[in-house]
Chain A
């Protein structure tokens, strides 16, 4: 690599401001353990609910940013004919758990630059009998050759290896992972859409669950399901004109396949832009009122707590022992409750269900709902700032994508930060 190029890298620009962008009308639609409906149902019904909330016509939506694993052979362009719309901005984001924040970033630039006025950002997937098994059997060329033949079907085995390594390296225990899962279940008990929200989860339940792979047991794994998640993006002026309450983006970034020389994943791209996010938002981790991590497995949530600056690398075990992670600060006997940070306030994928790519929108949509004060029984009080992070795409032995954003309420007297 030439030194000239290294100089360019050091001089790398930061993302410019997301000022003037409004996030409105968060929806979570059609959650079901299985469905005979196709992905277009969950995407189309999300769009339908959003325009109804916004009081606009479908033709007012001139941009679509879509993420789905199960839409094939159709794509976002097929949806134009299916929904009978004529958008001038199309984006499809095959980035699984990172797709929500990435869709938001793409759509925000389109609105800022005048390529679209109103973009519908939607993740939607169905879950039909056998469809999850089909997806994991042929997830990528690397998995087909190098992991699936070894019995490592699906992400469980890859994450079991990552979890095992993390535990050996940093001394985190299954109880620590349990602290995350149980707090999320408590949150889900207050969020009716959560598919597992009608069940409680105790530490005994967690520890005695069926083993899946290595240290990964039943309640470390998400339940694949069907559903849609979405929101509308437009200018602040337009949101005000339409009389829609909105949330703003203080900072957002993404970085993929970072730390690629780490033999086993124990961090992801967040470490390389978290500081810049806080700088751009002009706040610090202490000012974050809720954290929505991508919780495909609890160990990944712990990596996000570390890499996004809530604690040092390897210290998430202490963080979860000392922090009430529930939406209302409820503390369980197994945590000291010294601190409080509402985490995955809808229950996360672990308790809501993993609706394919919609799971990559789950924390983002929940954050918008919370910051608008539109959450119901699980509303976080006086929430001004949310950190949302995304992660995903286990192409072989690690998740490749990372994304994160800091969002702000505009309804609270203390909102802002810029």
Chain B
């Protein structure tokens, strides 16, 4: 369980920080090129398809497929180091970009009171961890540091 003082890294670029208001509203938005209509990620200054500088944050179709899933057993960040193993997913969105995402199975673990309760929650949630090839729905949320992160939830 994470120490209450530990927080995930909140540092983002100026562009990356622009995801925050959308995370607050629970809207999945990515940069879309007004010239070629492609969605792009990670956040960038120009479109990686046509080099237009006209990118705006638009609602993006949320479904995608897990490319790979690994359990991190090591992290330089104390927040993660305190709750290993931590699941990391790479997801290919149907809209195009590849996105690293948290697993939805992590949500709520930090709120549980007792160790027993935590274990029960973990046992329940293990089934909901997506694996490679699985279809997932991506959401944009605020993490414990109130920074925007993507979370992947398996589709039934």
**Which residues from chain A sit less than 8 Å from chain B, CB to CB?**
133, 136-138, 141-142, 144-154, 156-157, 160-162, 164-165, 168, 210-216, 263-264, 396-397
Count of B residues near A, CB < 8 Å? 39
**Which residues from chain B sit less than 8 Å from chain A, CB to CB?**
8-13, 15-16, 41-44, 67-77, 79-80, 85-86, 88, 90, 92, 98-102, 132, 143, 147, 149
Q: Which of B16, B41, B74, B101 contacts A150 (CB 8 A)?
A: B101
User: Which of chain B's residues has its CB closest to A217's CB?
Assistant: B73
Closest CB-CB distance, B137 to chain A, in whole Å? 18
Closest CB-CB distance, A303 to chain B, in whole Å? 15
On whether A150 and B67 interact (CB within 8 A), knowing A136-B76, A164-B132, the answer reads no
Interface pair B92/A152, CB less than 8 Å apart: no
User: Which of chain B's residues has its CB closest to A161's CB?
Assistant: B68
Interface pair A137/B9, CB less than 8 Å apart: yes
- Beyond the given pairs A161-B90, A211-B73, 7 more chain A to chain B contacts, judged by CB atoms under 8 angstroms and listed by A's residue number, are A144-B12, A144-B16, A145-B13, A148-B77, A151-B8, A214-B71, A264-B67
Q: Which of A145, A211, A216 contacts B42 (CB 8 A)?
A: A145
Name the B residues within 8 Å of A133 (CB-CB).
76
Name the A residues within 8 Å of B85 (CB-CB).
211
Q: Which of B68, B74, B92, B149 contacts A149 (CB 8 A)?
A: B149
Name the A residues within 8 Å of B102 (CB-CB).
150
On whether A263 and B67 interact (CB within 8 A), knowing A137-B76, A149-B147, the answer reads yes
Q: Which of B68, B74, B75 contacts A264 (CB 8 A)?
A: B68
Distance between Cα atoms of A154 and B72 in the complex (Å): 12
Can you name 27 A-B residue pairings with CB atoms under 8 Å? A141-B13, A141-B42, A142-B42, A142-B44, A145-B13, A145-B43, A146-B99, A146-B100, A148-B11, A149-B143, A150-B88, A150-B100, A151-B79, A151-B88, A156-B74, A157-B72, A161-B68, A164-B132, A168-B132, A212-B72, A213-B72, A213-B74, A214-B69, A214-B72, A215-B70, A263-B98, A396-B42
Interface pair B75/A151, CB less than 8 Å apart: yes
Closest CB-CB distance, B20 to chain A, in whole Å? 12
Distance between Cα atoms of A365 and B65 in the complex (Å): 43
Interface pair A146/B11, CB less than 8 Å apart: no
Q: Which of B41, B73, B76, B80 contacts A146 (CB 8 A)?
A: B41
Interface pair A145/B9, CB less than 8 Å apart: no
Interface pair B77/A153, CB less than 8 Å apart: yes
Closest CB-CB distance, A316 to chain B, in whole Å? 18
Name the B residues within 8 Å of A210 (CB-CB).
73
Closest CB-CB distance, A22 to chain B, in whole Å? 41
Name the B residues within 8 Å of A264 (CB-CB).
67-68, 90, 98
Closest CB-CB distance, B2 to chain A, in whole Å? 12
Distance between Cα atoms of A207 and B137 in the complex (Å): 35
Closest CB-CB distance, A203 to chain B, in whole Å? 21
User: Which of chain A's residues has its CB closest to B91's CB?
Assistant: A263
Name the A residues within 8 Å of B69 (CB-CB).
161, 164, 214
Distance between Cα atoms of A164 and B67 in the complex (Å): 9
Closest CB-CB distance, A121 to chain B, in whole Å? 32
Distance between Cα atoms of A147 and B72 in the complex (Å): 13
Distance between Cα atoms of A264 and B102 in the complex (Å): 18
Distance between Cα atoms of A147 and B12 in the complex (Å): 11
Q: Which of B16, B76, B132 contacts A153 (CB 8 A)?
A: B76
Interface pair B147/A161, CB less than 8 Å apart: no
Closest CB-CB distance, B1 to chain A, in whole Å? 16
Distance between Cα atoms of A397 and B90 in the complex (Å): 9
Name the B residues within 8 Å of A136 (CB-CB).
76
Name the A residues within 8 Å of B76 (CB-CB).
133, 136-137, 153-154
Interface pair A145/B12, CB less than 8 Å apart: yes
Interface pair A165/B100, CB less than 8 Å apart: no
Q: Which of A146, A164, A263 contacts B70 (CB 8 A)?
A: A164
Name the B residues within 8 Å of A138 (CB-CB).
11
Interface pair B42/A153, CB less than 8 Å apart: no
User: Which of chain B's residues has its CB closest to A164's CB?
Assistant: B68
Name the A residues within 8 Å of B71 (CB-CB).
211, 213-214
Q: Which of A137, A142, A165, A212 contacts B68 (CB 8 A)?
A: A165
On whether A153 and B43 interact (CB within 8 A), knowing A160-B70, A161-B68, A263-B67, the answer reads no
Q: Could you say which of B9, B76, B149 has the most chain A C-beta atoms within 10 Å of its C-beta?
A: B76
User: Which of chain B's residues has its CB closest to A136's CB?
Assistant: B76
Distance between Cα atoms of A145 and B20 in the complex (Å): 12
